[in-house]
Chains A and B, each alone.
Chain A
Amino acid sequence: MPDAAPIVSPGKSDKGPPTPRDRLLPGALRLDGLTLQVAGKTLVDIEKLLLEPRSVTVVMGPNGAGKSLFLRLVHGLIPPTSGWVSWGEVACGEATRSTQAMVFQKPVLLRRSVAANIDFVLRHRAGTRAERRSRCEELLARVGLAGQAEQPARLLSGGEQQRLALARALATRPKVLLLDEPTASLDPASVQMIEQIVLAASAEETKVIFVTHDVGQARRLADDVAFLHHGQLIEHRPAAEFFTSPASEAANAYLAGRIVL
């Protein structure tokens, strides 16, 4: 591993200044020359990006900027056309994916009860039935679904479904939590609950990458912001700097609520 890693913002969650050793943690993302081309069109083209292993990184940008593709690329769900993605010391792949969890914009729930959705993930891990049960109860309580364990998961409201998806993502105690606009079109109470759970997970040393459209949400969550536009990384800076004085014209326009072409 090259060790001349430029250090990124410490962030507002105040977990102490980053040390060179941090670059080896499983939440430290490194991208080099990452591109994705589909049918001759370049959809993602990021020269270089380093993310701190413990911060909440918010990925912003207008529709079609490549935010979702970016998340899938770093999770290893789609292979890049060229370039290199690694987490800590490990190249992105099945090994890194197993230490991560992703929450999709539209929650994908099994056609089973709420509890069975959690247990589906827990079952692959070690643990007795009783342990799984208590872990399941703990997770459901954490997302405010304690009383609904036996309900069919697909009869929950949109906000409840997404909270269940988040509980399931946290069930495996991931080192990295990837969220693709998880609160788009949810009720405010669910949005607040999801934001609090995400911040709590971050406080427990989980790296969070949160894609959002919502500038207010980005301000509430971000330690650092990566702004994408036309598949390119326009800027990546500490949240405080990004929101007060964005360097690029595109980010400036986006924050001001103007349409960014």
Chain B
Amino acid sequence: MQDFAGAFGLAFGLIASGDPDLFEIVGLSMRVSLTALLLSCLIGFPIGALLVVRKFFGRGIVIALVNSMMGFPPVVIGLLVYLALSRAGPLGWLGLLYSPTAMIIAQTLLIAPIVAALSRQVLEALQAEYDEQFRSLGVSRGSAMLALIIDGRYGLVTVALAGFGRAVAEVGAVIIVGGNIEHLTRVMTTAIALETSKGDLGMALALGIILMSIAVSVNLGASALRAVAERQAYA
């Protein structure tokens, strides 16, 4: 067993030297999670806005459903995507299993409900303020949804960052549908799990440090944005 300080030394060495394997893994992680985030925002923001603007029958049940999907276990989502994409599954003919695309699909299914549920909460407060004025102006439902998303932009960025944090740190779903294949589907979390079990703590720790720094800088960025928004009274 390597000693603790030695592991840290190795980790910083890998980061400082710009180890190609390390940065390939980081790059794939970012690509998969950012793509999943983009898709989730495209799906989740309009759903959140729709749930706020339309008071349809059964809306309460839909909201409860979306909220409960926030807590969906990633491994179960991984399993479901695996079943759908496996050779015998309904989407098996696409041949996507064990590819970055499969990982993007799994992460999108994981965080789109989070983005939808949180953006509904953010936009609900805005809607309470705008609703009467919009109805007085005769703003159509579509325009109202768009206006809510635009005016709620700072709150929605925080929502997106929460989704990103969840996606990039998630291991269960991507390891099932991606398979942790070196140079193909190995991302930070799956690599950390593997290297730790192999005993290569240097690599694991290097990835862990990068993952943590990403999480911290994402949150700092969110706070900075919030400060800008508040200064302009747009928050």
Contacts and interface: CB of A to CB of B under 8 A. Distances in A.
Please say whether chains A and B are actual partners in one complex: yes
Interface of A: 72, 75, 77, 94, 97-98, 100-102, 104, 108, 110-112, 120-121, 124, 152, 154-155, 172
Contacts of A110: 130, 147, 151
A104 B133 contact: yes
B141 interface: no
A155 B129 CA distance: 17
Nearest to B150: A112
22 contacts: A75-B136, A77-B132, A77-B136, A97-B135, A97-B136, A97-B138, A98-B138, A100-B136, A101-B137, A108-B130, A108-B132, A110-B147, A110-B151, A112-B234, A121-B137, A124-B143, A152-B232, A152-B234, A154-B232, A154-B233, A155-B232, A155-B233
Given A111-B234, A154-B232, 5 more contacts: A77-B136, A112-B151, A112-B234, A124-B138, A152-B232
A156 B232 CA distance: 10
Nearest to A168: B137
Contacts of B232: 152, 154-155
Contacts of A97: 135-136, 138
A100 B135 CA distance: 11
A257 B235 CA distance: 41
Interface string B120-138: 0000000001101101111
Contacts of A154: 232-234
Contact of B138 (A72, A94, A111): A94
B215 to A, nearest CB: 28
B136 A101 contact: yes
Contact of A152 (B129, B147, B150, B233): B233
Nearest to A155: B233
Interface of B: 129-130, 132-133, 135-139, 143, 147, 150-151, 232-234
A111 B149 CA distance: 11
Listed residue (B137, B138, B143) with the most chain A CB atoms within 10 angstroms of its CB: B137
Nearest to B143: A124
A110 B139 CA distance: 13
B138 to A, nearest CB: 5
Closest 9 CB pairs of A and B: A154-B233, A108-B133, A111-B234, A111-B151, A102-B136, A152-B232, A98-B138, A155-B233, A110-B151
Tell me the interface secondary structure of chain B in the complex. helix
A120 B136 contact: no
B233 A108 contact: no
Contact of B132 (A94, A98, A104): A104
A88 B147 CA distance: 33
A97 B130 CA distance: 16
Contacts of A101: 136-137
Contacts of B138: 94, 97-98, 124
Contacts of A121: 137
Listed residue (A94, A100, A101, A110) with the most chain B CB atoms within 10 angstroms of its CB: A110
A101 to B, nearest CB: 7
Contacts of A152: 232-234
A140 to B, nearest CB: 18
Contacts of A75: 136
A259 to B, nearest CB: 30
B223 to A, nearest CB: 19
A157 B24 CA distance: 53
A133 to B, nearest CB: 20
Listed residue (A100, A102, A108, A112) with the most chain B CB atoms within 10 angstroms of its CB: A108
A72 B232 CA distance: 31
A28 B129 CA distance: 30
Contacts of A124: 138-139, 143
Contacts of A72: 132
Contacts of B132: 72, 77, 104, 108
Contacts of B143: 124
Nearest to B132: A77
Contacts of B147: 110, 120
Contacts of A112: 150-151, 234
A136 to B, nearest CB: 16
A120 to B, nearest CB: 7
